[in-house]
Chain A
Amino acid sequence: MIEFIPQLIANGIVLGSIYVLVALGLTMVFGIVDVVNFAHGEFYMLGAFVAFLVVDHLGVPYLPAVLVTGVGTAVFGFATEKILIRPLRLRNPHPINYVLVTVGLSTFLLNGVNVLFGPDLRKIPSPFMKQILHFSNVYLTVQRLLVFLVAVALVSLLAYFVKYTALGSQMRATAQNFQAARIVGVNTDRVFFLTFMIGAALAGVAGALVGAMFVTEPTMGIHIIVKAFIVVIVGGMGSISGSIVAGMGLALVETLAGAFMPAEFLDIIGFSLMIIVLLTKPTGIFGTKGGASA
């Protein structure tokens, strides 16, 4: 058993990279726009389908296709904010309205993709699935390494953006105090749609990576969103570093403990942990008091 542990840790880090990419968008949209986006998993699912279409139908090589996916899902995030979230913010900004409208969007997209493409299991053709690396007794496909590297690159980029750029400071200001940010001249509307675009792009890229590694199918968003909720709640709604720690932590626990017990029990533990954190420390284990922090 012991000799498998390095392999399990490697798998856990790859899975954690995916959790982090998806959870980051969810946590930023909550921290900055104050919306819990129940359709966030569908951005991830759309990402996988966009990448599949671009590679399979247009014949674009895999890596440029991932880039196209990021841009495509960002546009989708932009549209979501403009068409659904903004009207609600102006008319009826009750939290349950945001929940309802994003649940509606999730149902719409999930079934829409199901109608268009059917529930078949697809796989995005990626050349990196066939190349296998091994370090002593740990075996990894290049695809898995790519997932990790892309996650590290995007998370670093995001952290730099949020911390050191003007737009990033505007985002943090909006997260801390929306009214005060407006008073000092922050264009909060721009901050809101930008946050949605970043979140959707991260989820879309994650979908494009996973769609090549596992499968691309319409319900893949539902599976990931549940994990992302656990990560975001435990890490603290709005906290970027919290999501990174909690995402990696959850994935490592899942892969290591998954070798010893059925996955369903792990899910029960995950849900219970989420509810306990909600009750005892709603700002999350790593969360600061409200707002997004780098």
Chain B
Amino acid sequence: MPNPLLGGIRVLDMTQIRAGPKGSRWLADAGAEVIKLEARGRSDSRGFGRRGSGNTAGPIAAISEAAQREGNRVAFEQLNRNKLGLSIDLSFPEGKELFKSMVSVCDVVMENFSYGVMDRLGLGYDDLRKYRPDLVMMSMPAYGSSGPYRDYVSFGWAQEHMGGITSRTGYRGGPPQKTGTIVADPLNGVHGAIAVMTALIGRAKTGQGRFIDFSQLESMVPLSGEAILDYSVNDRPPQCNGNRDFYMAPQGVYPCTGDDNWVGISVTTDEEWAALCVVLQNPEMASDSRFANGRGRVENHDALDSMIEQWTRQREKNQAMRELQKAGVPAGAVLDQAEAYRDAQAVSRDFLVELTHPDGVIYPYSRTPARFSKTPAEVRTPGPLLGEHNEYLLGSLLGISAPERERLESSGVTATLSTDLS
């Protein structure tokens, strides 16, 4: 049962890899009918491309090609669940006509090809509007649809650096470090979903469709707005400050029992500082005038850190978090990735859900990070196989007869997985 939240909205999704699919996943989770368009030999990265190929053991650091492909499948499932699979090869004139017919019954088209690809195919916004006058279309090339960089190539990797996120990410006095998950793609995906929803609300009010010119760089820069103002107003370039805050202390990660186990602590007020002194049972710390106010604590951070460490080293990270939080000190265990989906809070909120695929394989998924009280966004169906829903989409929706669909398939305009394992 699709979610009525976006029920009735149909999205033709040509995006690939991570950023675009992340955005359309938000729409699919909320009940829009998201049609993932692929073609024979040009399918999105889904590894083996078929379900139930079995898990390949081994740490990612020493990943084999097979494991890499299986990992791609994990990514594909996570980003493309709840979507339908359609395959049309746009290099055929007939494929282009099919595509236009599909556009005529869709509300939204999303694509993340290089700039100009859609126009060269004769499928740019101005072309497609003829088939759907109130179309919302989002193009997401790396640098947008104009300007001297519009033809430049980029993957998500470069954008966290171009967008300046990493100019503040690094140990004190050290060089910048990359972010663990390479954040640009998911950040851009959610901005993309926001842009589409904004346009759909506008369309609901006035009937007017829109073109969304999405530059992945421009989507990153606003996430550092205060750093840009600090530079332009105060002439202060961004600095790497490790895990510390410039205005409040103490803040950091502190070692706990076990190997590579840490607890994050962040004291933001004098009240929380007093609470920390109580938890640590350290009267010396509480009465030390160097630590009496925030400025003093920032200036004497090193001394504070060693006192806090003495306490955390004797505790398991979750235990440390609980004791600190109980006393009113902001603290969080530094969870590894599996723990992040399975700690008490995530389990209590059913953040991780499982779906049994038609072949019996069970896959885990994380739910959309938003809970709607009346129209919950659920994980309903696995990521689609190539062309899995051609029959519904081309037959039921567009009214193409079975013999005609067979002809399209045999002439290569459409394809289903049985003819393409790549």
Do A and B belong to a common assembly? Answer: no
Residues of A in contact with B (beta carbons under 8 Å apart): none
B residues sitting closer than 8 Å to A (CB atoms) are: none
